Chains A and B, each alone.
Chain A
């Protein structure tokens, strides 16, 4: 990392603000981008405040890579931070950044790593090769009907043997994604029909009629392992998170770190061991895949306590703060952990190896995880109506500052704010910390109680938010 590095912040809202703050902390120059509808967003104000008028450049779209590179060149940026969403997991974007004539450092894993782990089949095969448990079923696209039927048959038998009451098999297009071309089968006799339907759909829709046949796992918990790696082959983890509280559209709403609380709650399986296992497995894969930046390993844990690796998110996650708030790095007394700052530092080439870099490097043993963190995603949406987004003007947004509380938001507290309709209606991330789960939950409820959030839409209707939903879900956090 050179002090002359300049980071283009290729994102908006809360994450853009966090990146700007991290840059400032690291003494790096930065430039932000924004679109016309975002002109009042917190990240534009912050960029102007900390970097002057030239630090925020208006572009036509966050999704147009050309705009980002154009601004990067014009502003003399040397690195590009994609945040989450947009280009964060786009290996082509990362490749273009590093292979164009004027090269930019992509603050994220190398493009080849993104490509490798971005492919679910590839990841599954990598995991199986290392003996890491994955969802039972095929690990490659199946084209042959006989073969598919055999797998399905075995899956039904396998689940019965495992004592699953209602065995289910999932048939999905291997080239699909986002819930497209996916169907459940509960009757072995119906399998062939479903298989053919999905295969034809896949052929039509994706031009490839490969199909995956897997076990459908019900009532699982969604856990994550936060991995941090440098560009020189060293990997660390920052513990686990539990992201099981989700909206109907499988969107995360509350994240808790660590993933289980075996000290306070009772589980039907050895929860501490499961957490240990998934951390070790995740590191093994990271090491094998030459992972070289921050990333999240997503796991599902069955009610019986079997963990299966789902996928790897090769980016910083929204919920990075909840892992950071329970972590301390032994060599940096008194300093808060900021995973985004770590990401930038490592992305620009810093070492984790303490022998190479005693100041910023750290070993796994240096990372101490204490207490429990809860992150709430405050969103203008109506949980009663299928979480449909609400747009309008936020008139009041305020909360009581506490030492155990962090709020990240692009919504200003001192003036009204119009929610742009073009993007996700996320308003704020609120992260609370407690020594125990009980304390964290109590503080969380306290925060939600005192939160002021008011607004009006164009027809005069009041603001809809998910605060009540978050309150309700707080009661049973981490219970499984």
Chain B
């Protein structure tokens, strides 16, 4: 009877091994199966004590093979491990890592989003005979061992909103947050405010959250992971993966597959490997701080030792975050550092209070900013000589100093002076009126004052007046001619069927119509150069950080060639152009994502340039405009080096805004995925040019991952407006006017926010 139970246990282990080896023909699996079958056959004939002995041997053999297999695991095997229904889930962690917990915001299927689980939990420490209960807020995706309603840990916008809400609660209560990332990615539906917009809000919230955040990654799928992943300490389970995209998704892109086609298994394996998604890879690249070792072939709910270890790691990580921003930390920090995983007792033996003082909170946010600022520096190319860099720093320091005087110091005094002048002026006016009144009366009596005016007035009504501005502003005379306008041919508006648009003559459409259909207002794509010539003041564009260049950090096979081609064709070094420019004499710093360079995808170089542009705007006290000519998302071939730009850039723009900067985002063409779900989506002033498509995932991906057929206008700017994602829609021909208006109304007099 006991044996039967144990045999069943082995069978489960065998099935598990079979599952995670996937399609691969594995002789180990066959061997185990054969051995087990053989034993079962033999056991019937054997005496009981012999059965027990032989069974133990068999179990040992199983363990031996599992260990052997563990050493041979491929990245794709690990993907299968984390997706396996037997994989530990957040509920298991709450049960086994924490001493007590209460689930918040829903239970099982009775929840606004069962795939996002939130609990208030505590850890009990006994130190020096005293008992401390340390509360934490636990937030994470729940896969629930395959429970259907958990949606595989794919969180809907409102699930992420719930997480955001309880993060704020934790901040109020001054308790740390532990997040557990168990998600293949966010559910890509655009219910208000939209998947991307909600993730951006989460990131923005976390960028300024003044309590310690410790994240633990098991399955870190792109945007969904980032929604709760911007943390002070990031742990990763050894059998987990953390990636910009699922290997299947990458394979579909690599293989240029159409919707519904399946990628061959070999390609998926290769992609999983190329993306460098394992814990060790991510540790090596510096995107996670520690790897938590799991039992062979990955942690399952029965691995109690593993939970003990995880508990130690989480406590240690929280302690060290807290201590790093505390004044009194020396000995305890040293103790923490010397502590190894196996000396688990010591971690719990040191008591660290987890609430933070006001100063420590500030330091925490600064440290978080610096932590991410330092990431991914190896992942782009900066060919500048180090002397250039030094002089660059000098210049930036000077901007900081001079803008301090200009805006902070002088401003206060200047205002006082200006107010005084105004007052005096008003006094003088009253005096003048009093003195002048009798004179006016006399003039009125004589009657010549008025008639003199009339003659003048008559002239002003019938003669040519002075007028500086011509009727045609910029659009005609910008000096830029789109290559699309050089062809004598006509094009059909894609909305002709619904709106009855006639064919449009290309030279006119891409010339003075600025790519706008004369009949229905549909916007055809225009080159990024068009904007440089038609939005900003003539010859006011000054590009900086020109030489920062997209690299190939993962030595991805196809990327090197593709980058070379993009650089050759566009003359750009990466998809992000950063420049200073003027809009009707208002100076702005602009970061522009251009769709013609690798679809405007964002990698380490783009992120770095974006951050530097935000810094420049901050130092010079200029408004900062993110102009999205188009972006397809994060450059997947850079793997996590790309994804990490989401928190990195968000931290940078948060810092800029908190110091009083005006951050405006304008979407033009298709703008999707990571960037929209982070540093673009977090602007309070996002505008879109008509016919921009904005969202998290394209229609194909939505169909693939959710099976939902979405209407053709699902991502259209008007939908984004109704969702509350953007604040207004502009006509392309009026970008310049509208931008100026936006800068004036939102920027105040000096055009800087505060």
List chain A positions with a Cβ less than 8 A from chain B.
Answer: 61, 63-66, 92, 95-96, 99-101, 119, 121-122, 125, 128-129, 133-134, 136-140, 151, 154-155, 157-158, 161, 207, 215
B461 x A154 contact (CB < 8 A): yes
**Residue of A95, A100, A134, A140 touching B462 (CB-CB under 8 A):** A134
Q: How far is the CA of A202 from the CA of B505 in the complex (A)?
A: 28
Indicate if the CB atoms of A125 and B467 lie closer than 8 Å: yes
Task: Report chain B residues within 8 Å CB of A207.
Answer: 731, 733-734, 737
Whether a CB of chain A sits under 8 angstroms from the CB of B503 is yes
**B454–A158 touching, CB < 8 Å:** yes
Give the docked Cα–Cα distance between A96 and B454 (Å): 48
Enumerate 26 A-B pairs (CB-CB under 8 Å) in ascending A order.
Answer: A61-B502, A63-B502, A65-B505, A66-B502, A66-B503, A99-B507, A100-B488, A100-B505, A121-B471, A125-B464, A125-B467, A129-B464, A133-B462, A136-B461, A137-B461, A139-B467, A140-B465, A140-B467, A154-B461, A157-B453, A157-B454, A157-B457, A158-B457, A158-B458, A158-B461, A161-B458
Q: Which 3 A-B pairs have the closest CB atoms?
A: A154-B457, A128-B464, A136-B461
Q: How far is the CB of A393 from chain B (nearest CB, A)?
A: 29
When chains A and B are docked, how far (Å) is the Cα of A128 from the Cα of B459? 11
Shortest distance from the beta carbon of A269 to any chain B beta carbon, whole Å? 18
CB contacts (< 8 Å) of B490 on chain A: these are 66
Query: A99 to B463, alpha carbons, bound, how many Å?
Result: 37
Take A66-B503, A96-B508 as given contacts and tell me if A139 and B488 are in contact as well, using a CB distance cutoff of 8 Å: no
Contact partners of A63 in chain B: CB under 8 A: 502
Q: Does B391 contact A (CB under 8 A)?
A: no
The residues of B that contact A92 with a CB separation of less than 8 Å are 508
Report how far A133 CA is from B459 CA in the complex, Å: 11
Q: How far is the CA of A254 from the CA of B266 in the complex (A)?
A: 84
B460 sits at the interface (CB 8 A)? yes
- List A contacts of B488 (CB < 8 A): 100-101
Min C-beta distance of A103 to chain B, whole Å: 10
Residues of chain B lying within 8 A (CB to CB) of residue A151: 460-461
Contact partners of A125 in chain B: CB under 8 A:
464, 467
Q: Is the CB of B460 within 8 A of A154?
A: yes
CB-CB under 8 A from B453, the residues of chain A are 157
Greatest chain B CB density within 10 A among A92, A129, A155 is at A92
CB contacts (< 8 Å) of B505 on chain A: these are 65-66, 96, 100
CB proximity of A331 to chain B, nearest CB, Å: 39
A134–B731 CA distance with the chains assembled, in angstroms: 35
Q: Evaluate contact between A65 and B471: CB separation under 8 angstroms.
A: no
**A-chain residues with CB within 8 Å of residue B471 when the two chains form the complex:** 119, 121-122
Instruction: Report B-chain residues with C-beta under 8 Å of the C-beta of A136.
Output: 458, 461-462
Task: State which residues 720-745 of B face A: CB under 8 Å.
Answer: 731, 733-734, 737
User: Residue on A with the closest CB to B458?
Assistant: A158
In the assembled complex, the CB of B506 is this many whole angstroms from the nearest CB of chain A, namely 10
CA distance A71 to B505 in the complex (A): 16
Query: Within the complex, what minimum Cβ distance (angstroms) separates B516 from chain A?
Result: 12
Rounded to whole Å, the gap between the CB of B77 and the closest CB of chain A is 59
**B163 CB to nearest A CB, Å:** 41
Q: Residues of B contacting A100 with CB < 8 Å?
A: 488, 505
Expressed in whole angstroms, the Cα–Cα distance for A161 and B733 within the complex equals 44
Hey, which chain A residues are within 8 Å of B464, CB to CB? 125, 128-129, 139
8 Å CB interface, B441-469 against A = 453-454, 457-458, 460-465, 467
Task: State A209–B693 Cα separation when bound (angstroms).
Answer: 29
CB-CB < 8 A to B733: which residues of A? 207
In the complex, A26→B732 CA distance in Å? 48
List 20 other contacts, CB 8 Å, given A101-B488, A158-B458. Answer: A64-B502, A66-B490, A66-B503, A95-B508, A96-B505, A96-B508, A119-B471, A125-B464, A128-B463, A129-B464, A136-B458, A136-B461, A139-B465, A151-B461, A154-B460, A154-B461, A155-B461, A157-B453, A158-B454, A158-B457
Q: What residues on B are CB-neighbors of A64 within 8 Å? A: 502-503
Given A122-B471, A125-B464, A136-B461, A161–B507 Cβ distance below 8 Å?
no
Given the complex, which residues of B lie within 8 Å of A101, measured CB to CB? Answer: 488
Report Cα–Cα, A133/B462, bound state, in Å: 7
B647 to chain A, nearest CB (A): 39
Q: Mark B478-491, 1 if CB is under 8 A from A, else 0.
A: 00000000001010
Nearest chain A CB to B87 CB, angstrom units: 57
Q: Is there an interface contact between A161 and B465, defined as CB atoms closer than 8 Å?
A: no
CB distance from A363 to the nearest CB of B (A): 32
B465 A138 Cβ-Cβ under 8 A? yes
Q: How far is the CB of B534 from chain A (nearest CB, A)?
A: 15
The complex places the Cα of A155 from the Cα of B505 at a distance, in Å, of: 45
Shortest CB distance B513–A (Å): 9
- Inter-chain CA distance A215–B462, complex, in Å, is 10
The chain B residue sitting closest to A156, CB to CB, is B457
Bound-complex Cα distance A96 to B465 (A): 34
Chain A residues contacting B731 (CB-CB under 8 Å) are 207
- Which residues of B221-270 are within 8 A (CB) of A? none
On whether A128 and B462 interact (CB within 8 A), knowing A158-B454, A161-B454, the answer reads yes
List B contacts of A129 (CB < 8 A). 464
| Alpha-carbon distance between A47 and B463 when the two chains are bound, in angstroms | 50
A151 to B462, CA, bound (A): 11
Query: A139 vs B503: C-alpha distance in the bound complex, in angstroms?
Result: 36
Closest CB of chain B to A281's CB: distance in Å? 14
A422 to chain B, nearest CB (A): 14
Residues of B within 8 A of A95 (CB): 508
A64 to B458, CA, bound (A): 46
Set of chain B residues within 8 Å of A65, measured between Cβ atoms: 502, 505
In the bound complex, CA of A139 to CA of B466 (Å) = 9
How many Å from the CB of A175 to the closest CB on chain B? Answer: 9
Q: Please give me the residue from chain B that is nearest to A61 by CB atom.
A: B502
* Residues of chain A within 8 A of B458, CB atoms compared: 136, 154, 158, 161
Chain A residues near B457: list those with CB within 8 A: 154, 157-158
Which of chain A's residues have a CB closer than 8 A to the CB of B463? 128
B741 to chain A, nearest CB (A): 10
In the complex, A378→B5 CA distance in Å? 104
Q: What is the chain A residue whose CB lies nearest that of B473? A: A208
CB neighbours (8 Å) of A134 from chain B are 462
Give Cα A215–Cα B460 distance, bound, in whole angstroms.
13
For residue B734, which residues in chain A have a CB less than 8 angstroms away from its CB? 207
* A173, B191: Cα distance in complex, Å: 40
B465 to A, closest residue via Cβ: A139
In the assembled complex, how far is the CB of residue A48 from the closest CB belonging to chain B, in whole angstroms? 27
A137 to B737 alpha-carbon distance, docked (Å): 27
Give A137's nearest chain B residue, CB to CB: B461
Distance A207 CA – B458 CA, assembled complex (angstroms): 31
Give chain B nearest CB distance to A161 CB in angstroms: 6
Q: In whole angstroms, how far apart are the Cα atoms of A100 and B505 in the complex?
A: 10
Contacts of A154 in B (CB 8 A): 457-458, 460-461
Q: How far is the CA of A121 from the CA of B465 in the complex (A)?
A: 12
A261 to B508, CA, bound (A): 47
Closest residue of chain B to A153 (Cβ to Cβ) is: B457
A133 nearest CB neighbor, chain B only: B462
In whole angstroms, how far apart are the Cα atoms of A137 and B488 in the complex?
Answer: 43
* Shortest Cβ distance from residue A137 to the other chain B in the assembled complex, whole angstroms: 6
Query: Which residues in A have their C-beta under 8 angstroms from that of B454?
Result: 157-158, 161
User: How far is A157 from B731 in the complex, measured between Cα atoms in Å?
Assistant: 41
A119 to B471 Cα, complex, angstroms? 9
Q: B488-521, CB under 8 A of A: which get 1 and which 0?
A: 1010000000000011010110000000000000
Nearest CB of chain B from residue A159's CB, rounded to whole Å: 10
Nearest CB of chain A from residue B577's CB, rounded to whole Å: 28
- Min Cβ gap A177→B in Å is 14
Q: What's the Cα separation between A138 and B734 when bound, in Å?
A: 25
Cβ contacts under 8 Å, B737 to chain A: 207
Q: Which chain B residues border A99 with CB–CB below 8 Å?
A: 507
Q: Report the bound CA distance from A139 to B464 in whole Å.
A: 7
> A140 to B465, alpha carbons, bound, how many Å?
8
Interface residues of B in 76-121 (CB under 8 A from A): none
Write the nearest CB–CB distance from A370 to chain B, whole angstroms: 36
Instruction: Give bound CA distance, A96 to B512, whole Å.
Output: 13
Residues on A with C-beta less than 8 A from B465 are 138-140
